[in-house]
Amino acid sequence: MAAAPVSFVSPGGAPLCGILHAAGSEPSATAIVILSPGIKNRVAPHRLYVKMARRFESLGYDVLRFDPEGLGDSGGEIGFETAADLYGSIQRGRFAADTRAALDWMRAARGTQRFVLSGLCGGAITGLHAGQNDARVVGLLGLGIPVILDGTDVDKRRHLTDGQLAGLRKGYLKRVFRLESLIRLVTFRSDIRLIWKSLTQPLKASKRPEAPDAEQGSNVNPTFAPAYDRFLTGGRKLLLVFSESDRLYWEYKEKFEAHNRSLVDRHAAASRIHVTPDANHIFSFREWQEDMLHAAVSWLNENFPLN
């Protein structure tokens, strides 16, 4: 069946618009709902969501991708002046209610009873929030899930992970003798404090505390660990796909996993991580997309087979 435009209403009364990729005349045993990646619409960067939907539909899964309230073709207002503050609200679950409205519509329109939620970045954390207390949700395929909070009041330089600093240091050292780099440095167009922090990081690494420093504050999302626990305690399955070159991978490893080892170990049987080599945050190149899709399809076939 061809993809078709659909619409339904958000809990706030706004019209929400989406595209339904129906695999057949009858509903699939499990449907996949792909959620907005932050402030992008249902197409996603490099048409990633279109490619995901078509791949999953070809396997027999019904797929819905839609714009939440205030984004894309959907009605409503965002209400934030900065992207950083909007991201922060998404990381706290801003679009979870719209996601549940999408599941309600799929159940009414298609008779769907079970769902896997998916999405990149903001879509991944939205899926975690929306699915943690919804019995209809059986899994989450999260791409580059964030474990931190964004906002205009957050100084990102203060909260860089060791992995991020190591990557920055490597880049600076590779470019240190290039003329353009020296010009940027002497004309104060480079971030001197960030360069200094990355270069001195090896000297301080051994002195770093095992948990976030309370005096320095933390940009870790306090809702992430409880939502992660509730999601997996409910018997659901989780696949987290990270891009090797993405800062969010280092944040997950150093800011969540390292400080929640007993929680991660307790849910090890239901949770899986896949890292796409060399990839950036939005899986720009075809080989990165194919690696991610191969991992996703294998996980879907193992946990939610249609036959």
Q: Are residues 242 and 282 in the same domain?
A: yes
Same domain, 107 and 247: yes
pLDDT, residue 169, reads: 58
**Domain co-membership, 11 together with 96:** yes
pTM of the model as a whole: 0.83
Residue 112 within a domain:
yes
User: Both 299 and 263 in a single domain?
Assistant: yes
Backbone angles phi, psi at 22, to 5 degrees: -90, 125
Report pLDDT for 164.
Answer: 55
Q: Are residues 299 and 199 in the same domain?
A: no
Specify the pLDDT at position 81.
83
Q: How many Cβ atoms are within 10 Å of 122's Cβ, its own excluded?
A: 26
Tell me the C-alpha distance between 170 and 165, whole Å.
Answer: 9
The pLDDT assigned to 79 comes to 87
Same domain for 245 and 147? yes
Do 35 and 74 fall into the same domain?
Answer: yes
Judgement on whether residues 83 and 200 belong to the same structural domain of the protein = no
- Identify the segments of the chain with pLDDT beneath 50: 194, 206-216
Question: Do both 190 and 225 map to the same domain?
Answer: no
> Is residue 246 in a domain?
yes
Residue 215 located in a structural domain:
no
| Structural domain boundaries, residue 194 | 156-207
Q: Are residues 18 and 90 in the same domain?
A: yes
Give the CATH number for residue 230. 3.40.50.1820
Q: Which of 281, 304, 305, 277 is nearest to 291 (CA)?
A: 277
Identify the pLDDT of residue 173: 59
> What type of residue sits at position 171?
G
Instruction: Tell me the HSE value of 115 on the side-chain side, using a 13 A CA sphere.
Output: 29
Let me know whether 113 and 43 are in one domain. Answer: yes
Domain count, the chain: 2
